[in-house]
A and B are shown apart, each in its own frame.
Chain A
Amino acid sequence: MQSRFGPRAHTWSLIGLVLGLTVLLSALAPQTFPTVGNLQSMAVQIAPLGLLALCIAITFLIGGIDLSCVNVANGSAVIAALVMNALAPSTGAGPATAIGLVAALCTGLLAGLVNGLVIAMLRVHPIPTTLGTSAVFLGIFTGITNGSTVFGQGTLGSLSTSTVALLPLSFWVFLLAVAALMVVTQRTRLGFRLYAIGESTRVSRFARMRVERDQVIAYMISGLFASLAGILLFAGLNAANVSFGSSYLTQALLIAVIAGMDPYGGSGRVGMVALAAIAAQELQTGLNMVLGGWSGSAFASDFAWGVLLIAILGFSRWLGRRTARRRREQATAALVADGAQGS
């Protein structure tokens, strides 16, 4: 009684989507799309977006949501830039960069800790909580930077320019993050508990799981990945501003939803985020190609992201309804068959 659209089918349809888009775009633009340079620049763009989608994915998994991830990313980038600029004259570029990175990651972890504590200990709903902390983080970092852009020392540029095995370093960071999160969610006890909490917080409490601790851990993972995304954004632009990437939240939500994460928790696999992020970036590249030099193309792709998010939510809702109806019909048929045998 396997559902027609089970996890395996979903994996294959995502792989099909990625391959199909690749073939389509290569056919449309054989000179520009399938070149090493273009694919590498796409990979550089996928990395921060994919990391933000991981933030959404891990919090979706436990039935929560982290709406503060974009602001945490920008805030960590600001902190990294400020620390590096402050330390570079006295310690030299190398140590300053290292300390800046650590400071950025700590910012993310701290932000995640705050989110997690408020949600787990006070049992506030995650949507208003992360909306509130998001506004607080935005306020803090706007105040610190006075709303202006902070420029860096250029020491992180190699993250997006140098390559290992043809893939940019930042993309490797993203792949490692996905792999680590896959291992955690699929192979460890913590992962098992996260799925259980997403399925039912109440039952997990009755099973004497320490739900609060695991929720805090999930939000801290989200904060950590958000700060990684911030570091990658900062590395790519050599600049940090609290208002960068305002449409990232929609895109990250979209990627998490395409990846099959259930907003109500308990199902979906984080590994799919990698495929979904690649597919989303291909769509973006395709849009840019179609829109070409039109001045409104950036806004039009915002529009397209919004339409896509809602269309895909609608599609999965329709699929879910159909599957549920099928199951009901099959169950009824089985009952009728049983009854026929019994009499």
Chain B
Amino acid sequence: MNASLKWFTGHREMLLVVVLLVISVLFGLLNPSFFSAAHLFGILRSSVVLGIMALGVMTVLITNGIDISVSATAVVAMYVTTVTLNAVGFHGTVLVAILLGCLIGAVLGLVNGILVAWLKLPAMIVTIGTLTLYRGGLLAFVGTERIRELPAQMAEFGQLQLIQVSSGGRLASLHVSVLVWIVLAIGLAVVLRDTWWGRYLYAIGDNQEAASRMGVKPDRIRISAFVLSGTMAGLAGIFYASMNRAADPSTLVGFEMSVLAAVVLGGANVTGGRGTVLGTVLGVLLITLVGNSLVLVGIPSAWQQLFVGVFLLFGVVMPAIRDRRNRIRRGVVVAD
């Protein structure tokens, strides 16, 4: 029993798969409509925004940083893009909107990265500052109104479905952004595993001193991780606006908590050097699955926030318990 428990704590992805399956079966027994194609597609659809942001935040977490400002970055990217494209009366392809959103996100991420690298302070404090700054700046200087008239191509993109299945008289559809998410996840996994840049991320997160003696430039790598995180957040923002058919500058408040919960649950450690794409994706799925299904099994949605918190705390505490056990076994617990 104890041995299998230990194996599970060491293999986060396996544990998450098991938890996902158990929860699915439980919810399915409580309410059979859980297993309808509409609900499952709905879960995937609502995972996308969280999932894309989580990929970026995980990259930052690997380098021993943290990015709290992703929700504000996403909102700024989405709103500024919408306002700009509407102002110039743009009717071309949606790719321009996506590129513009990514660019805005990348710039905001670059600001975060430079500040963190330059101030040499916990990224937490810096990104709390930029979170307030970005959102306050957007609401004060760009606008507070919810825009319902998206650029035509963005609105169309929001309706672009990958698969449509009719189930129980209703049309269940899978949005195309799910495919984008999967491609991005696979791409990031390959990059993290097979490129110098990916290995450097883990190196500076695990031991910055050793990495910099090896010739890695920690600041540059760290800034690039923040840029990636901002870019992903910008992309997620555009997807969010398209799928909700509106750009609202005061949405996604507190969304960064869910993102962090998903990433930490997926096994990325806030002390750096750890984290896998598969774990993050599973964490995102778990959080969305529980969040979307609570209402189905009769729990008021007001309690959804509590589950996010419990998952986040669980993801933080579990590796700490394992580390502590290891330290005690090695006999260094007194000093460290």
Contacts and interface: CB of A to CB of B under 8 A. Distances in A.
Nearest to A301: B136
Given A143-B305, A317-B120, A136 B317 contact: no
A169 to B, nearest CB: 30
B321 A128 contact: no
A302 interface: yes
A309 B304 CA distance: 32
Interface string B303-336: 1111111101101110011011000000000111
Given A138-B309, A139-B306, A313-B125, A124 B335 contact: no
Contacts of B115: 310, 314
B260 interface: yes
Nearest to A314: B119
Nearest to B111: A310
Contact of B139 (A128, A299, A307): A299
Contacts of A131: 257, 260, 312, 316
Contacts of B271: 125
Contacts of B126: 310, 313
Interface stretch (A26-34, A151-159, A243-251, A335-343): A243-251
Contacts of A142: 302-303, 305-306
B62 to A, nearest CB: 14
For the complex, would chain A's binding face be called helix, strand, loop or mixed by DSSP majority? helix
Interface in A118-175: 118, 122-125, 127-129, 131-140, 142-143, 145-147
A206 B254 CA distance: 41
B125 A143 contact: no
Contact of A135 (B121, B129, B144, B257): B257
Given A143-B306, A253-B129, A310-B133, A302 B140 contact: yes
Nearest to B319: A124
A124 B316 CA distance: 7
A296 B141 contact: yes
A202 B334 CA distance: 9
B196 interface: no
B10 interface: no
Nearest to A302: B136
Contact of A127 (B124, B132, B303): B124
A303 interface: yes
A37 interface: no
A317 B320 CA distance: 31
A205 interface: yes
Contacts of A314: 115, 118-119
Interface string B117-149: 011111011101111111111111100100000
A65 interface: yes
A209 to B, nearest CB: 12
Contacts of B320: 122-124
Given A137-B309, A146-B300, A303-B137, A313 B121 contact: yes
A263 interface: yes
A306 interface: yes
Nearest to B320: A124
B336 A202 contact: yes
A305 interface: yes
Given A136-B313, A138-B309, A146-B302, A263 B133 contact: no
B136 A135 contact: no
B261 interface: yes
A143 B303 contact: yes
A66 to B, nearest CB: 12
Nearest to B69: A306
A139 B66 contact: no
A306 B131 contact: yes
A189 to B, nearest CB: 22
Contacts of B44: none
Interface in A1-53: none
Pick the most buried of B124, B138, B304, B308: most chain A CB atoms within 10 A of its CB: B124
A300 interface: yes
B204 interface: no
Contacts of A136: 306, 309-310, 312-313
Contacts of A263: 121-122, 125
B264 A128 contact: yes
B182 interface: no
B270 interface: yes
Contacts of A249: 128
B253 interface: yes
Given A127-B66, A300-B136, A314-B119, A138 B270 contact: no
Nearest to A127: B124
Contact of A118 (B121, B139, B317): B317
Interface in A199-247: 202, 205-206, 246-247
A82 B140 CA distance: 35
A241 to B, nearest CB: 13
Contact of B129 (A124, A127, A250): A250
Nearest to B314: A132
A257 B128 CA distance: 13
Interface in A34-91: 65, 67
A138 B305 contact: yes
The 8 closest A-B pairs by CB, nearest first: A306-B133, A139-B306, A302-B136, A135-B309, A303-B136, A132-B313, A136-B309, A299-B139
Interface of B: 66, 115, 118-122, 124-126, 128-141, 144, 253-254, 257, 260-261, 264, 270-271, 300, 302-310, 312-313, 315-317, 320-321, 323-324, 334-336
9 contacts: A127-B124, A131-B312, A139-B303, A142-B305, A299-B135, A302-B136, A303-B140, A306-B134, A310-B126
Given A140-B306, A299-B140, 18 more contacts: A123-B320, A123-B324, A127-B124, A132-B317, A135-B313, A143-B302, A145-B302, A253-B129, A254-B129, A257-B125, A301-B136, A302-B132, A303-B133, A306-B134, A309-B132, A313-B129, A314-B115, A317-B118
Interface of A: 65, 67, 118, 122-125, 127-129, 131-140, 142-143, 145-147, 202, 205-206, 246-247, 249-250, 253-254, 257, 263, 295-297, 299-307, 309-310, 313-314, 317
